[in-house]
Amino acid sequence: MLFFLTFSFCAFAQKMPSDYFMEAIQYGQSGQNQKALENFLYIVENHPRNELYPKALYNVGFIYFQQKEYEKSILYCWKLMTGGFNDTEELGGDIMAESYTNYSHLACVRISECYKNLGKYDSALHYLELSEHTYRYQSTCGNAYADYNVRTALRYADIYEHLNQPDSAIAKLLPQAFDNGFTDHSEVVAELKKLLAGRKKLLPKLDAALDSIYSKTITYEDHNGQERSYNRFYIKFLGTEFELPHGSFGHGYEWDKPEESIARLKEDKFYKMIAEL
């Protein structure tokens, strides 16, 4: 088992928290998860001010989750989520890796997963919403954000399906239905295929939505407090408004040649899946 949150260490003359952490990682990599847990717990219980404390907390919650001890996992993830740790501490990976530790966000998502596995779907939904809006994911990588959006949509859909709310599941998946060029959306398309099976006249509805593409101007403040804006293009399908991947439009939507942009979208696996239903 490889643990997500590791660190770079150096040797010490006596056994330090970093040594316990290093040993825990080695135990985990060799499949000795209980020994890894004991080492991480040693840091959590004895060195709450050490810089490795939040990483150890994360890994304790992770191991308990893997062991299906969900109540214990929730306890330690709650401490991590509410501990006020630095979510933008750099992990030091390459440009395509996760940028930051995201302690509170990851802990919140883990709590949601624990409640889902316990069959407490309302609580699972509550913590997933918290992870999206309160303990928000942060990254400097567009690919990482795209992957996060797909994973989050799939998590929502899973919970809503357990709550017997298929329309809510569909609404969460549709914004990730078309390929954005940054991450694999195959699971989203597969899930939508399952949820939409048996529904009638979907292709004419999607064609009508694509023929009615419209733009919106999005405004925001940059890090210098300056107001910026950009245009994005949207459709409304099955009652859900969602942004289309702007890569489908090259450097801009060709209002004088809309058929070219629509033709690109019709090559997407989502469109082809709708056509086959």
Q: Mean pLDDT across the stretch 259-272?
A: 86
Examine the domain organization and report whether 123 and 220 are in the same domain. no
The string of pLDDT tens digits covering residues 77-86 is 999 999 999 9
Identify the domain boundary among 84, 105, 140.
Answer: 140
Tokens of 95: 């440009």
Residue 159 lies in a domain: no
- Judge whether 14 lies within some domain: yes
- Gap between the Cα atoms of 115 and 204, Å rounded: 39
* pLDDT tens-digit map of 133-177: 999 999 888 888 899 999 999 999 999 999 999 999 999 999 999
Average pLDDT over residues 223-251: 80
| pLDDT score at 215 | 82
- The per-residue pLDDT of the chain, averaged, comes to 88
Checking if the pLDDT of 240 tops 70, the result is yes
CA distances from 30 to 1, 2, 51, 161, 170 (A): 7, 9, 25, 37, 41
Domain count, the chain: 2
Domain extent for 37: 1-140
Decide if pLDDT at 97 tops 60.
Answer: no
Position 31 scores a pLDDT of 92
Residues with Cβ within 8 Å of residue 25, at least 6 apart in sequence: 3, 6, 36
Residues 129 and 229 both lie in one domain: no
Same domain, 89 and 209: no
Between 28 and 191, the higher pLDDT residue? 191
Between CA 64 and CA 185, with CA 97 as vertex, the angle to 5 degrees is 85
Residue finishing a domain among 140, 174, 201: 140
- Partnered with residue 219 across adjacent β-strands are 229
Average pLDDT on 69-81 reads 98
Q: Indicate the pTM of the whole model.
A: 0.87
Secondary structure tally for the chain: helices H, strands E: 12, 3
Kindly tell me if the per-residue pLDDT of 51 is higher than 70. Answer: yes
Query: How does strand 214-221 pair with strand 227-237?
Result: antiparallel
Asked if residue 108 and residue 180 are part of one domain, the reply reads: no
pLDDT class of 218 with cuts at 50, 70, 90? confident
| 133, 24: one domain | yes
Whether residues 10 and 134 share a domain: the answer is yes
Do 127 and 216 reside in the same domain of the chain? Answer: no
User: Under a CB-based contact definition with an 8 Å cutoff, are residues 257 and 177 in contact?
Assistant: no
Final residue in a domain of this structure, among 140, 175, 191: 140
